[in-house]
């Protein structure tokens, strides 16, 4: 289903770039990376691509950002209630008039033998928006920055757009949008001479694994044609549900930027990274360019 949505995702990317193309400058985060994931999730679900969804998607994710204050929880509660009300009315509408979209399929699952209840359906919608937002934003922002720092690789992609699949894998490896995941050991295990006891919490640094010299020759070198398997989306039973969706968005967005915008240059000498140790991404990425 996601593969068949490439033309729709391309259209969203083209529209977002179309808004800034004349100006010759943009903030890659605010103008493309931030609006894109919520618009794509809305399109997959089959709901209107309203600007409000991007803000909700951002805010809802922060429930995972511990510790947060009571005041933050109160704000997040308000956001969750607004989201709930908005989606409850969309669900009621769609129940009367089903379409060929994910929301209608989820409603059908709810109505067929109670595979989902109403709250679970709402939770899936909130989850799709929240977990797919900042992660995908970081993929696009970190990738553009890596290409700006490696003009030879940017030129290579411009000359050979068909290498985009391996390019996105390498960009995900080089500056991973999710740096850290956690596990609770269920039994004693020895790794690298250290014993991890049952019940211990372990933080696994995906960002470091993806630069492991034992796995990747010359790991700090960006090589868009590198053939390898890295771990940007985790592994095992918790492997990212949205990996395909994220890859497709990254492939379309990065190829559009590289192909459509000439002479792309960083327009700041002070980059601001978001303060988060799990997710690695820029608060802003101002660039200038000339149009083709
Ligand atoms: C570049 C973008 C993305 C990156 C780098 C990323 C990364 C990850 C990683 C590393 C995990 C594993 C967490 C763990 O093992 O504890 C994960 C899980 C997950 N991701 Fe993503 N993700 C991205 C985009 C998305 C999108 C677009 C969605 C929404 C469809 C999504 C939905 C999920 C869900 C639901 C899980 C939990 C799966 C489970 O626990 O069974 N992700 N993601």
CB count, 10 Å around CB of 66? 6
| pLDDT in the model for residue 224 | 97
Residue nearest to atom 16 of ligand 1 (CA): 181
Q: CA nearest 291: which of 87, 8, 22?
A: 22
| pLDDT in the model for residue 113 | 75
The residues spanned by each domain of the chain are 3-291
CB count, 10 Å around CB of 227? 8
The answer to whether 5 touches 251, Cβ cutoff 8 Å, is no
- In whole angstroms, what separates CA 226 from the centre of its chain? 22
User: Which residue's structure tokens are 């950002």?
Assistant: 65
Cα separation of 223 and 285, whole Å?
Answer: 22
Residue nearest to atom 42 of ligand 1 (CA): 242
Instruction: Name residues contacting ligand 1 (CB within 6 A).
Output: 127-128, 131-132, 135-136, 139, 177-178, 181, 206, 232-234, 238, 240-242, 245-246
- In whole angstroms, what separates CA 191 from the centre of its chain? 31
Cα separation of 265 and 262, whole Å?
Answer: 9
Expressed in angstroms and rounded, the spacing between residue 239 Cα and the centre of ligand 1 is: 7
| CATH number among 3.40.50.2300, 3.30.43.10, 1.10.630.10, 1.10.3720.10, domain 3-291 | 1.10.630.10
Residue nearest to atom 27 of ligand 1 (CA): 132
Q: CA nearest 25: which of 291, 215, 205?
A: 291
Atom of ligand 1 nearest to the CA of 178: 5
Expressed in angstroms and rounded, the spacing between residue 57 Cα and the centre of ligand 1 is: 14
pTM for the whole structure: 0.95
Expressed in angstroms and rounded, the spacing between residue 242 Cα and the centre of ligand 1 is: 6
Per-residue pLDDT of the chain (292 residues; tens, 9 = 90+): 899 999 999 999 999 999 999 999 999 999 999 999 999 999 999 999 888 999 999 898 877 776 789 999 999 999 999 999 999 999 999 999 999 999 999 999 888 877 889 999 999 999 999 999 999 999 999 999 999 999 999 999 999 999 999 999 999 999 999 999 999 999 999 998 999 999 999 999 999 999 999 999 999 999 999 988 899 999 999 999 999 999 999 999 999 999 999 999 999 999 999 988 899 999 999 999 997 6
| pLDDT in the model for residue 292 | 61
Expressed in angstroms and rounded, the spacing between residue 33 Cα and the centre of ligand 1 is: 17
Atom of ligand 1 nearest to the CA of 247: 1
Helix (H, G, I), strand (E, B) or coil at 52: helix
């Amino acid at each position: 289903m996601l593969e068949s949505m490439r033309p729709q995702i391309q259209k969203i990317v083209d529209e977002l770039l179309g808004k800034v193309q004349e100006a010759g400058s943009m903030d890659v985060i605010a103008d493309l990376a931030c609006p894109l994931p919520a618009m794509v999730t809305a399109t997959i679900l089959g709901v209107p691509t309203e600007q409000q969804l991007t803000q909700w998607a951002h805010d809802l994710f922060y429930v995972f950002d511990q510790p947060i204050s009571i005041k933050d929880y109160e704000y997040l509660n308000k956001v969750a209630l607004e989201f709930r009300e908005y989606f409850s009315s969309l669900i009621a509408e769609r129940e009367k008039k089903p379409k060929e979209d994910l929301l209608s399929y989820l409603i059908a699952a709810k109505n067929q033998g109670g595979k989902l209840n109403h709250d679970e359906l709402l939770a899936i919608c909130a989850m799709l928006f929240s977990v797919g937002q900042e992660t995908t934003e970081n993929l696009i922002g970190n990738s553009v920055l890596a290409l700006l720092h490696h003009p030879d690789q940017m030129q290579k992609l411009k000359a050979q757009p068909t290498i985009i699949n391996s390019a996105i894998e390498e960009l995900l490896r080089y500056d991973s949008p999710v740096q850290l995941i956690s596990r609770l050991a269920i039994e004693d295990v020895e790794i690298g001479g250290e014993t991890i006891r049952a019940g211990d919490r372990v933080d696994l640094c995906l960002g470091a694994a993806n630069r492991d010299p034992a796995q990747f020759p010359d790991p700090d070198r960006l090589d868009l044609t590198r053939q390898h398997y890295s771990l940007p989306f985790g592994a095992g039973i918790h492997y990212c549900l949205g990996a395909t969706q994220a890859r497709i968005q990254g492939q379309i967005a990065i190829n559009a930027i590289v192909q459509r915008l000439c002479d792309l240059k960083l327009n700041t000498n002070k980059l601001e990274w978001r303060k988060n140790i799990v997710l690695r991404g820029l608060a802003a990425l101002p660039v200038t360019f000339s149009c083709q």
